[in-house]
C-alpha cells in the first residue's frame, strides 16, 4: 500500500505494533453490512497468510470453506480448546441468507457441504469442488436478497457494493499480484505506482463494444467456463504499462527516455507488418524503397493517421491517393 500512495509517506510506513496470530483470536470486530453488531476473529486453516493482514470476512452462507470451518468450531469442543476459542465467539452465529442461487437455494454452502458429505474443513478436495460450483453459478445466476443490493445479480452487486464501501470510507482499493512474484534477486515483488506510460485497454467504448459482441448470438465460447473467462478478463482489463527505462527496444516517440515494453511493442508493430512489404520490400534496414516507391520522409503523422486511424487524406502529401488507399486496405 505504501507503494500505491495509500500511506502518509510514499514507500514507507511506521510500524505501530507487532502481533502474532494467536493474539488476534477472539478480538471483537465490526463488519460492514452485517446485522451482527459484533463478530469475532477466528482461526481458519485454509487461508493464505501471505496476503494483506491474513484476516478475511467469513461468508458461511455461500462459501463452503467458511461454513465448514465455522461448523467445526461450533460442534467440536476439542478444537475450540486447541485454539483457545470461546463458545460465545462462534456457537451463537448462524449463516445469513444473502444470495439466492437457482438449484442451490439461499444457503448454497450449507446445502452443498451436507449433500457432498464434507465432514470438516480438512476435506480440501471436496471443498474445492463445492467452491467452484457455488462461485461460478452464484456469480452469473445468483440474485441478492435483502440488504443494500436487494434484487441485483451478484455480478452487478459486486461492483455496486465495492463502490459504496469506498465512498463511505469503509474500504480502500489497492492492487496486488495475482500470484507470488519473486525477482531475480530473491525479493518478493509488490505492485507499485511509478511514472509510466500506459495503453488504455479499458477504454469504455471499446470495452463495451467487445462485451456486446461476446454476449451476442454471433459469439460461441463453446463452454460456460470459457465465456466466464472472457467476461472476467474484459472487466479486469484497464491500463497496461507499455514502457520501461532499460533494455533493448524502440524508443517511445513522444518521450525518448522510455523504451516501449516488449509485449506492447510486439502488439504495436504487428500493425506495421501489414504495410511493411509495400513500404520496404525485402530491405529490413529501411535503406531501400519498396514496391510503392514511397520515401521515408513522406510517411508523416498525417499519412499514418490516414492508414491506421481512417483519418482524412493528408493535404499536401506527395503520395498519390491510390497508393495510400492501398496501404489502408492492407491494414
Rounded to whole angstroms, the Cα distance separating 253 from 247 reads 16
Contact (CB, 8 A) for 25 and 42:
yes
Coil, strand or helix at 64: helix
| Residue found by looking up cell 491500463 in the block | 239
C-alpha to C-alpha distance for 99 and 235, rounded to whole angstroms: 22
Q: pLDDT (tens digit, 9 = 90+) per residue, 212-269? A: 999 999 999 999 899 999 988 998 888 888 888 888 888 898 999 999 888 788 877 8
Residue 330: predicted pLDDT: 96
Q: State what percent of residues in the chain have pLDDT above 70.
A: 100
Residue 100 has pLDDT above 90, yes or no: yes
What domains can you pick out in the chain, each with its CATH number?
A: 19-167 (3.90.740.10), 198-241 (no CATH), 260-330 (no CATH)
Give me the sign of the Cα torsion angle 174, 178, 179, 184. Answer: negative
Question: How many degrees, rounded to 5, is the angle at CA 186 between CA 54 and CA 257?
Answer: 105
- Arithmetic mean of pLDDT, 182-210: 88
Q: Is 80 exceeded by the pLDDT of residue 284? A: no
**At residue 255, what are phi and psi to the nearest 5 degrees?**
-150, 85
- Listed in sequence order, the DSSP H helices in 17-92 are 21-24, 64-75, 77-82
The confidence score (pLDDT) of residue 59 equals: 93
Phi and psi angles of residue 39, each rounded to the nearest 5 degrees, phi first: -125, 170
Of the two residues 52 and 7, the one the predictor is more confident about is 7
Residue 311 has pLDDT above 90, yes or no: yes
Average pLDDT taken over every residue of the chain: 90
> Within a 10 A sphere around the Cβ of 142, how many other Cβ atoms?
24
Distances (CA, A) of 27 to 47, 61, 71, 107: 18, 22, 19, 27
User: What is 137-187 written as a DSSP string?
Assistant: HHHHH-EE-SSTTTT-BHHHHHHHHHHHHHHTTS-------SS--B-TTSP
Residue 101 pLDDT: 94
With a cut of 90, say whether residue 45 has pLDDT above it.
no
- Please check the confidence at residue 50 and state whether its pLDDT lies above 80: no
pLDDT tens track for 138-155: 988 999 998 899 999 998
Q: How far apart are CA 142 and CA 153, in angstroms?
A: 6
For the segment 175-180, the average pLDDT, to the nearest whole number, is 86
- Looking at residue 182, its pLDDT comes to 92
Cell 480438512, located at residue = 122
pLDDT digits (tens, 9 = 90+) for 110-148: 999 999 999 998 898 999 999 999 998 898 899 999 889
Question: pLDDT, tens digit, for every residue of 51-84?
Answer: 777 888 899 999 999 999 999 999 999 999 999 9
CA 26/CA 8 separation, integer angstroms: 30
What integer pLDDT is reported at residue 269 of this predicted model?
80
Q: Is 103 left (phi over 0), alpha (psi -120 to 50) or beta?
A: left
Whether residue 97 contacts residue 59, with contact meaning beta carbons closer than 8 Å, is answered with no
Amino acid at each position: 500500500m505504501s507503494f500505491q500512495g495509500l500511506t502518509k509517506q510514499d514507500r514507507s510506513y511506521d510500524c505501530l505494533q507487532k502481533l502474532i496470530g494467536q493474539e488476534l483470536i477472539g478480538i471483537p470486530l465490526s463488519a460492514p453490512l452485517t446485522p451482527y453488531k459484533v463478530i469475532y476473529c477466528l482461526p481458519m486453516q485454509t487461508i493464505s497468510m501471505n496476503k494483506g493482514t491474513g484476516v478475511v470476512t467469513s461468508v458461511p452462507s455461500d462459501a463452503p470453506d467458511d461454513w465448514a470451518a465455522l461448523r467445526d468450531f461450533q460442534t467440536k469442543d476439542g478444537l475450540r480448546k486447541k485454539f483457545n476459542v470461546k463458545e460465545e465467539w462462534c456457537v451463537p452465529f448462524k449463516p445469513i441468507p444473502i444470495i439466492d442461487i437457482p438449484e442451490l437455494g439461499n444457503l448454497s454452502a450449507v446445502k452443498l457441504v451436507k449433500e457432498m458429505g464434507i465432514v470438516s474443513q480438512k476435506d480440501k478436495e471436496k471443498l474445492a469442488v463445492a467452491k467452484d460450483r457455488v462461485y461460478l453459478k452464484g456469480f452469473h445466476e445468483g440474485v441478492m436478497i435483502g440488504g443494500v443490493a436487494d434484487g441485483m445479480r451478484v455480478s452487478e452487486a459486486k461492483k455496486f457494493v465495492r463502490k459504496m464501501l469506498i465512498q463511505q470510507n469503509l474500504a480502500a482499493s489497492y492492487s496486488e499480484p495475482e500470484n507470488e512474484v519473486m525477482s531475480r534477486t530473491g525479493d518478493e515483488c509488490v505492485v507499485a505506482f511509478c511514472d509510466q506510460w500506459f495503453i488504455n485497454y479499458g477504454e469504455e467504448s471499446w470495452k463495451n463494444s467487445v462485451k456486446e459482441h461476446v454476449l451476442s448470438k454471433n459469439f460461441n465460447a463453446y463452454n460456460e467456463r470459457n465465456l466466464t473467462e472472457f467476461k472476467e478478463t474484459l472487466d479486469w482489463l484497464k491500463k497496461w504499462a507499455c514502457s520501461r527505462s532499460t533494455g533493448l527496444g524502440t524508443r517511445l516517440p513522444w518521450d525518448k527516455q522510455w523504451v516501449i515494453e516488449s509485449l506492447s511493442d510486439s502488439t504495436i508493430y504487428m500493425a506495421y507488418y501489414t504495410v511493411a512489404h509495400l513500404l520496404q520490400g525485402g530491405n529490413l534496414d529501411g535503406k531501400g524503397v519498396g514496391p510503392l516507391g514511397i520515401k521515408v520522409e513522406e510517411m508523416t503523422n498525417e499519412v499514418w493517421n490516414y492508414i491506421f486511424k481512417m483519418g482524412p487524406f493528408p493535404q499536401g502529401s506527395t503520395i498519390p491517393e491510390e497508393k495510400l488507399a492501398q496501404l489502408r486496405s492492407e491494414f
